[in-house]
Structure 1
Amino acid sequence: MEAVGLSKRYGSVLAVDALTFTVPRGVVTGFLGPNGAGKSTAMRLMLDLDRGEGRTAFDGKPLKEHRHASRVVGAHLDAKVFHPQRTARNHLRMVGSDAGVSNARVDEVLSMVGLDSVARKRPKTFSLGMSQRLALAGAVLADPMCLMLDEPANGLDPQSIQWLREFLRNYASQGRSVLVSSHLLSEMQLMADRIVVIAKGKLITDGTVEDFVSMSTRNDVLVRCDRPEALVELLRAEGVTAVAEGPDGLAVIGESTDRVGEAAFRAGVVVRELVSRRASLEEAFLELTSDAQGFAAGGQL
């Protein structure tokens, strides 16, 4: 999947602003941003469900140029969009009818998502977690090469979230493209190989989780030693200015443990602890999007 120049305006508000990113095959790509950042709107633009500017290519072509769209991309944007009188099985039969999906495939997918025992029940009686599983079943029903899922983990218990993670990573590993939006950043760190981060409709980053986390100033080397002032003096003399003293010891930003340890040796400092500290995806996200968003780090994502 490749989105190029996506833009959408609601009155005077530019909800999505010239957004360009790619979703490569073989990996799960997380789609992250605070509430109101434009994630859902961007997904709707990609699927031609909203009118706006820009284009999206699936296997090199716009969605409308593919004969069977559901075999190209499967989408899950709302877990509660079901006909109130249809059973779960009949709902999926209806969803797959345009792509010629067999009844056997419907039953296979119901079993795949753990809903075979409730196939004859109406989804209006389902919990949110069960509805999420049925929506996922609809997305993968025609065995598409691309998946787009908007907050698929909402309403799932921890065991089901782990199941979803393994399911999506396995799906992507078969050479497919998977785009997943979520506010559960700790889960995204486990699920996604790449991330697209947006704020106020604009792209913040499109790359690996590791590259994004490495941009955080919370990545540092913690040093506990007997004469911290001597180590600080030597480090600053060597051009290392990002050194902060705190209750835990010295925090040296942007340097390796090897360099800090060698500096301590040259300064004649006895080191009691030397450890590299790495920011989590959530910590990096809050730091690197706070200026663009103008929201407090303690706010809701």
Structure 2
Amino acid sequence: MLQAIGLTSTPRRDRPPAVDDLTFEAPAGAVTALVGPPGSGKTTALRLLLELDPGRGLTYFRGRPLRRIAQPAREVGVVLGDVPGHPSRTVRGQLRMLAAGAGVPVARADEVIRAVGLGGLEGRRLGTLPRGADRRLALAAALLGEPHTLILDDPGAGLSPAERIRLHELLRAHARAGGTVLYTTRDPKDAARNADHVVTVDAGRLVAAQDAGDFARTRLRPRVAVRSPQAARLAAAVTQEARSARRPVEVVTEDGNLLLVYGGDCAQVGDIAFRHGVPVHKLADETGDAGPGPAAAGPEGVHEAGRAVGAGAPGRASAARRPVRSPLRPLRYELRRILGVPPTGLVVAGVLAVSAVLAVLLGRGGGTPLPAVLAAWPDLLPLPPAALGAGLLGALSFGEEYRYPALAAGRGAVPRRLALLLAKLAVAALGALLLGALVAAADLAALRLCYGADLISVPDNWAPMAASWLGLTVGCAWAGVLGAGVFRAAAAGVAAVLFVPVALVPLLGQVMSGPAVRSVTGLPGRLAEFAGPRWAPSLDHWIAGALEVVGQPAGVALALTLTVLLCAYVLTGLRSQARW
């Protein structure tokens, strides 16, 4: 059961709140429709239920507020607007990534694809889906965690009549299994036809909360829809004959040639048209809205549950702390995220191609040192292509999630959780290591192919060179991740990567150019004495190489940049949580 008590949105300036003291229930095992005209506050009410908008009131999902539910995706499935996600990601890839986020088996993605009728569209890109398929994908994402409660904002928008029938059959099956379904609609006939309970709102306030039968009897009334090219003449004839017979009839004109006749039937209206020689193109019985207003509901339309659950408790804040939907399996989520979009492969392929060409050109003259040739790092570039590519991939890992949010509907931002950050840093480091190794191998192969294996040999100090090379690529990848996470844009992540060689390295080079009073020479030996017999002699070589790398201005600059970005990320994350 879903219980909403005293929901009130925060007003803007001098305008009244969009939702004002709204209290209702959505029982388990039933489909509840939230009905109201455009601008009545339906969507705002859903966002208050989910604690996405600031306001007052309480909402309980089976007796618990959302912020106290450890796994919200297992309790509540949400459809708000379009499905968020990268337009180049496939339907199956999107759902498998979200399955990792919800902590459910990957096979669940194929199950919901079949359940919502997306079979055959698994390989389609999100950006190429038609409107109806896009809505079905949003419903599939909501069903991934097998939630007890479904909350949907106008789920039938953009669907064909057949797709709407399938949608409501799916919602009905979820309710029959004991779940709770709450959806919004502006069409009262849709609510009367497909819902078990109907909650009517207008101007943000509760008008009535009734069973569907009571709603149809008290809020709807029969009418005759007539379409004629002489609608004005027919309207005058119907009104005149009803007045003569002293019958209460109301005639409403819509769209120029459509008449809605309240208080008559098809036989009466057809006979009048025949007697006056008026051609009729449509004549049908319909059920129409009686219009908003508490009087139309009658005394039996007042919802008793609002008083039962304590409607007098709206004074407590419901948005003091917004629930955060962080991936339950962050490492698996991040791997599916980075491997599911074309930009990852395009960046890697571009880096390999550019590096190979630059390595061949640099090796042609014979005067460039071998490390710079293997790294494809000419003096005119601030960073080698591999480091720039690793930084770009790191920046996209956070920047694209702010641009195409996927973790939670309607939030538009990635939650700043430690597990997610560690997963992104781990995947970025792994990608940077692979990219650095691939570039070095590709450049070495290109040099040997062009100039012969005898001229290009592996140097003896390859270990510190490799440590320096891989450390640079990993550091740039982490700078991209943290920069994009702090400033919420991929461009900011790339700017953080370029800041190191362009601005910080020259400054530190001047600072470190003075005479050194002390040094860390002999540190490996002192560490060996401290560790005792457990110390492996081969570690001396690696530690000396690492110290040589870190002691360079570029290493110091990269370490400082990463430290500052990490502190900024933590501080902004704590400030955001306090503001929520």
Coarse TM-score class (shorter-chain normalised): 0.7 to 0.9
Decide which of 77, 82, 87 is 2:80's aligned counterpart: 77
Deviations 1:120-139 (A, max 9, x none): 21111011100000000011
What is the TM-score with the length of structure 1 in the denominator? 0.74
Q: Give the 3 Å change call, closer, same or farther, for CA 74–217 of structure 1 in structure 2.
A: closer
Secondary structure class of the residue paired with 1:144:
coil
CA deviations on 1:210-249 (whole Å, 9 max, x unpaired) are: 2233335958xxxxxxxxxxxxxxxxxxxxxxxxx75777
Mapped to 1, the partners of 2:108 and 2:13 lie a distance apart of 44
Q: Name the residue aligned to 1:166.
A: 169
Contact map agreement 1:216 1:288 (CA 8 A) in 2: no
Structure 2 counterpart of 1:49? 52
2: CA distance, partners of 1:80 / 1:26: 26
Higher relative contact order (CA 8 A, sep 6+): 1
- Write the distance in 2 (CA, Å) between the matches of 1:248 and 1:71: 62
Asked if 2 retains the 8 angstrom alpha-carbon contact of 1:31 and 1:182, the reply is: yes
- 1:171 and 1:104 map into 2 onto residues whose CA distance is 20
**What per-residue deviation string (whole Å, max 9, x for no partner) do you get for residues 50-78 of structure 1?**
11111110010101111100111100011
Which residue is equivalent to 1:183?
186
Q: After superposition, where does 1:66-215 map in structure 2 within 5 Å?
A: 66-215=69-218
Match of 1:283 among 289, 314, 317: 289
Q: Matches of 2:212 and 2:12 in 1, distance apart?
A: 31
Correspondence for 2:478? none
- Matched with 2:35 is 32
Change (3 A) 1:82 1:218: same
The amino acid across from 2:64 in the alignment is K
State the SS of the aligned residue for 2:39: coil
For residues 86 and 279 of structure 1, do their structure 2 counterparts lie closer, same or farther at Cα, with a shift above 3 Å needed?
A: closer
2:83–2:137 contact (8 Å) kept in structure 1: no
The alignment yields a C-alpha RMSD, in angstroms, of 2.6
Conserved? CA contact 1:72–1:145, under 8 Å: yes
Code of the residue aligned with 1:7 in structure 2: it is: T
Moved over 4 A (4+): 216-219, 245-251
Cα gap change, 1:150 to 1:217, in 2 (>3 Å) = closer
8 Å contact from structure 2 (residues 75, 147) kept in 1: yes
Q: Does 1:4 align with 2:5?
A: yes
| CA–CA distance in structure 2, aligned partners of residues 155 and 72 of structure 1 | 27
**SS of the residue 1:5 aligns to:** strand
Letter in 1 for 2:13: G
Higher strand residue share:
1
Higher helix share: 2
Q: How does 1:55-70 map to 2 (within 5 A)?
A: 55-70=58-73
Partner Cα distance (2:245, 2:86) in 1: 58
TM-superposed CA distance for 1:289, in Å, is 7.0
Question: Which stretches in structure 1 are left out of the alignment for 5+ residues?
Answer: 220-244, 252-272, 292-301
The one-letter code matched in structure 2 to 1:11 is R
Q: Which has the larger radius of gyration?
A: 2
Q: Structure 2: state its 5+ residue gaps.
A: 223-241, 249-267, 269-284, 297-580
Query: Is the alpha carbon distance of 1:194 and 1:124 closer, same or farther for their aligned partners in structure 2, counting shifts above 3 Å?
Result: same
Deviations 1:87-140 (A, max 9, x none): 111211222223211111100100111112111211110111000000000111
Give the Cα separation in 2 of the matches to 1:164 and 1:217: 24
Q: TM-score, normalised by structure 2?
A: 0.39
* In 2, Cα distance between equivalents of 1:247 and 1:25: 52
Quickly say closer, same or farther: Cα 1:186–1:216, change in 2 above 3 A.
closer
Letter in 2 for 1:59: R
Contact 1:199 1:289 in 2 (8 A): no
- Partner residue in 2 for 1:254: none
Give % identity. 38
1:217/1:157 CA distance change after superposition, 3 Å: closer
